[in-house]
Amino acid sequence: MGLLKMFKADVDVVFEQDPAARSYLEVILTYSGLHAIWAHRVAHACFKRKFFFLARVISQISRFFTGIEIHPGAKIGQRFFIDHGMGVVIGETCEIGDNVTIFQGVTLGGTGKEKGKRHPTLLDNSLVATGAKVLGSITIGENSKVGAGSVVLNDVPDNSTVVGIPGRVVIQNGKKVRKKDLDHHKLPDPVYDRLNHLETELEQLREEIKEAKGVK
């Protein structure tokens, strides 16, 4: 697909995904997510031709105006939609398929430990909701959804829904996945646990001191 046809497809998907879109003029002039995608299309074309500095400049200018940071090395398919978009970060080795949707505050990043392919792959028709973090060289399967605020560190199968910190599959192929550890609001509190442990130790010491002094 040529660049101009890809640009048109990027506009068309906005009307399919966003009920607030009213006219082509409004979408083309005011949608920062669309501007960021278009800038990336140009930056990525420069990157593939080894104009790395120019690609990076285009990327940074786009980041300044849109609040969306997409590394020019990221591979993005057709009909990619970024809703609102502020705070979105997409890493260098990300691979994004067709008809993928992400929302504001999403990070498709690395863990800082890998070399080579160190960012996620999002397959066709996947969706990543507001504020979710998808980290490392993992794959989000086709037709899968990542819930808002989730942190995903492992591969997600096709046709699945993932929620929580860390992300857990709760629906797969239309059926609920039952797990005992899905109470994501009950997160561990290491400070409380340590204080509780210290209090227990102090109580034991008090008892030992009383026994040593012969106090009943």
What local confidence, expressed as pLDDT, does residue 10 receive?
87
Question: In the chain, what percentage of residues exceed pLDDT 70?
Answer: 90
The tokens for 64 are 């300044």
| Contacts for 114 with CB less than 8 Å, ≥ 6 apart | 136, 137
Q: How many residues belong to the chain?
A: 216
Which has more pLDDT, 2 or 144? 144
Question: In the chain, what percentage of residues exceed pLDDT 90?
Answer: 48
Q: What is the mean pLDDT of the chain?
A: 86
* Coil, helix or strand at residue 72: coil
Q: ∠ CA 118-72-92 to the nearest 5 degrees?
A: 5
Domain spans of the chain, in order of start: 3-185, 186-215
Q: Is the pLDDT of residue 9 over 90?
A: no
Which has more pLDDT, 62 or 190? 62
What local confidence, expressed as pLDDT, does residue 180 receive?
46
Confidence of residue 194 (pLDDT cuts 50, 70, 90): confident
Prediction pTM value: 0.74
Q: Is the pLDDT of residue 49 over 90?
A: yes
Q: Is the pLDDT of residue 181 over 60?
A: no
Short-list 43, 8, 45, CA closest to 28: 8
Domain 3-185: CATH architecture, name and number where available: 3 Solenoid (2.160)
The tokens for 106 are 């999403």
The DSSP symbol for 156 reads: B
| Dist CA 107 CA 86 (whole Å) | 11
What local confidence, expressed as pLDDT, does residue 39 receive?
94
Q: Is the pLDDT of residue 29 over 50?
A: yes
Q: What pairs with residue 103 in β-bridges?
A: 83
